[in-house]
Structure 1
């Protein structure tokens, strides 16, 4: 069979994952989503998309739309809806109806048999407890079930939590990523390429100044803070939050949240140009996760959101203002996706490692070798780039 990189995307959203994979040389033939605004966005940017509930889509229909046959796709990629696995809320995990969409993802891989798969999700999936039929925690984890399912399909897997900032994205954004190989190939998670400290500026973490400064006076579509919230935000310096307010008015500003626990770092948060962005959320105006511009008294605009997630400036987002923020906030950053794609392509081409007769027996080389050796059902903590130093 001819070896191609023609691939299928599921739960595609605004195509952040797909765009990065395409930049790595992977050809996404078709996307799929249940949300009409997402499908309209894909089509508005010239991409083929299938609208529908994945539970009602047959693998044959997906393959036909992609112009592919069983076993031919290079990759199936996607992130089954992540709310059940979030660290917030009840975390019903695999027993949540949305969590069960993971089963549909497995069904597609089982029948279509791509050479590789990529599954991404929130980092909370790593610790999400498995519930019994009464909704009570068991000794198991959702991750155990996921690993069992892919093992049953005879896919070799590697997984871990990746922080986007370590791959050139101007944003702290941790995502669970799992890569699977049908043919038992030497898959690996992408090695970090950017660091907090580096002698070459091009390898340092990217900041908000690097990506949105030029949009400061030309924001385009933008939400608004309520007058009540704006009253307090105007008092917050760049890089500050509610703790920057005078002590005597903090309780008034915070309301009932003032007595609650936790750091509450997102309340009245004004971002800093000199740092990467916090994780872009689905709305920049929510009280607990405000995304206020570093110097302007407004939230980040749609265009600024898109820049932080590394969408091309000419990428069209369809739907209402709420739809646009949500599509961007739910996306995988393009730079992280590209790094994942490059790791897959290097595996497919069998050129990820420079083979040498010996490695010097120093601690630094031993750390690198250990990172390379971690495979199979291994957890690689690439959120700690120092392990590669």
Structure 2
């Protein structure tokens, strides 16, 4: 589903086995009053100059039930990023389109798929709208994994950084990282890897001829309106060797150069990247190169730099068609194609994300397991004093001593190492994460080993549960009293606890963790 019919048309033309929906357009509304500052006010309906571009969160009433009735297993989405993009105006939360991030969260909350994935620019993380969306996801019960990924590490020759927020119902935070990282390449993908070693122009082939007849003289440079070489361009040219090839790609900002090397990933493609060199360009006297001689990618080559396969059908340009065209041809404007290319998630990255979700759903062990490395490299970072306190509790509450006590602490460090990448604060959450991990081969985590490690986390979760009441001043810090069952009896009427204390993952969340269950007055 998309708001732009052209996007649906291109997708339908290239991917025929998927059901495509008509674009959803909320009805135009009258321009509402705004604050004296003229800025968008959260909660109001906003209409842009074009009536088809309406940011109206009441549209959720129409679209959320439609998505919910489909009973989706997963929802992928990319709310508009212009408000938070470094290439845009950067209005952030003041941009009315920012509220569509919350709209996406509300739709997910209504449909409650097992999984969701939201993609956006990394600048979104600092916004109020992102915090509000995350709060909605958490309220519904999603375990979240947030990562900023670079497309050049996932099969795409483009240094495109994007925020990926993945959610899974009834999971712990951080569940997605190990699955996605298994598809991360050891080396970044470069332009040459996709367009071939012959693409680009050698430095010697586009140097400026000293006798260039139309070079801009120093006297006329103040009036010159064409492209001027920037510091970023000169740095790339200075780092060349005789075999280095270059190409032209429109810069994305005042500090971005237009000359790029083929032995590196392409820059993040934006709408104007495919514009090509302006016809007004002339080399200036003293410039080392003449950009008119350097390679300029075709639109199909830009498409491949964005991760699309060769020959992907973007339709015919309206400006290049004649009256005798085939009526079935897909005719698009140049700006439409540019926007599609710039806004889309690179297909190889999307494929890696999709495979990772399937692996998690099938409880497949990641092909590069984190378990073995985690046990060896991660440690339980806690003070000696805290370890001593916990050991005292284990001796009294669990009657552990000698080798059994030493083994308990060793197993606890290993168990925490397995979940360290998720950044979880409470042992109960770590226990839930460990229980959800598939068992691996010996000696790292067989089923027996997994059960043993889960038990050590359950003991720590029990201790943290007890300590939460101590810290709130609701129970004395007395291990013997706890061992006698005094806390159990105190809570018996309101919060029955299983005598074995083996089910800490099933206790009510407000009572679990290192934080007190009640705020001390």
User: What's the TM-score bracket when you normalise by the shorter of the two chains?
Assistant: 0.5 to 0.7
Which structure 2 residues correspond to residues 303-322 of structure 1 after superposition, within 5 A?
303-318=300-315, 319-322=332-335
State whether residues 119 and 179 of structure 1, in contact with CA within 8 Å, keep that contact through their aligned partners in structure 2.
yes
Secondary structure at the aligned position of 1:109 is classed as helix
What number of residue pairs does the alignment pair up?
289
State whether residues 230 and 297 of structure 1, in contact with CA within 8 Å, keep that contact through their aligned partners in structure 2.
no
Cα deviation per residue 1:149-195 (whole Å; 9 max; x = unaligned)?
Answer: 21122222111211112222211111011011123267313216456
Which structure 2 residues correspond to residues 12-161 of structure 1 after superposition, within 5 A?
32-45=1-14, 46=16, 47=18, 48-53=20-25, 56=59, 57-62=62-67, 68=70, 72-88=71-87, 91-128=90-127, 130=128, 142-161=129-148
Q: What TM-score comes out, normalization by structure 2 length? A: 0.48
State whether residues 303 and 341 of structure 2, in contact with CA within 8 Å, keep that contact through their aligned partners in structure 1.
yes
2:176 matched to 1:188?
A: yes
Larger Rg: 2
Secondary structure at the aligned position of 1:165 is classed as helix
| Structure 1 position 359, deviation (Å) | 6.3
Question: Which residue of structure 1 lines up, in the alignment, with residue 508 of structure 2?
Answer: none
Distance (whole Å) between structure 2 residues aligned to residue 351 and residue 245 of structure 1: 47
- CA gap of 1:285–1:352, structure 2 versus 1, over 3 A, is same
| Structure 1 position 351, deviation (Å) | 1.8
| Structure 1 position 325, deviation (Å) | 2.0
Which structure 2 residues correspond to residues 1-389 of structure 1 after superposition, within 5 A?
32-45=1-14, 46=16, 47=18, 48-53=20-25, 56=59, 57-62=62-67, 68=70, 72-88=71-87, 91-128=90-127, 130=128, 142-184=129-171, 187-189=175-177, 190-191=180-181, 193-194=183-184, 203-213=186-196, 216=199, 241=233, 264-267=254-257, 269-284=258-273, 297=294, 299-318=296-315, 319-353=332-366, 361-362=376-377, 369=418, 372-374=421-423
| Structure 1 position 214, deviation (Å) | 7.5
Of Structure 1 and Structure 2, which has the larger fraction of its residues in strand?
A: 1
| Unpaired stretches in structure 1, ≥5 consecutive residues | 1-31, 131-141, 196-202, 218-226, 247-261, 289-293, 379-389
Secondary structure at the aligned position of 1:53 is classed as coil
Secondary structure at the aligned position of 1:98 is classed as helix
| Structure 1 position 213, deviation (Å) | 3.1
- CA gap of 1:264–1:372, structure 2 versus 1, over 3 A, is same
| Unpaired stretches in structure 2, ≥5 consecutive residues | 27-55, 201-214, 217-223, 239-251, 278-290, 316-331, 380-412, 430-521
Question: Which residue of structure 2 lines up, in the alignment, with residue 198 of structure 1?
Answer: none
Distance (whole Å) between structure 2 residues aligned to residue 346 and residue 101 of structure 1: 30
* Further displaced range: 328-337 or 363-372: 363-372
Of structures 1 and 2, the one scoring higher in RCO (CA 8 A, sep 6+) is 1
Cα deviation per residue 1:75-97 (whole Å; 9 max; x = unaligned)?
Answer: 00111001112235553434421
Cα deviation per residue 1:76-122 (whole Å; 9 max; x = unaligned)?
Answer: 01110011122355534344211111232123212221111000100
- CA gap of 1:324–1:108, structure 2 versus 1, over 3 A, is same
- CA gap of 1:210–1:153, structure 2 versus 1, over 3 A, is same
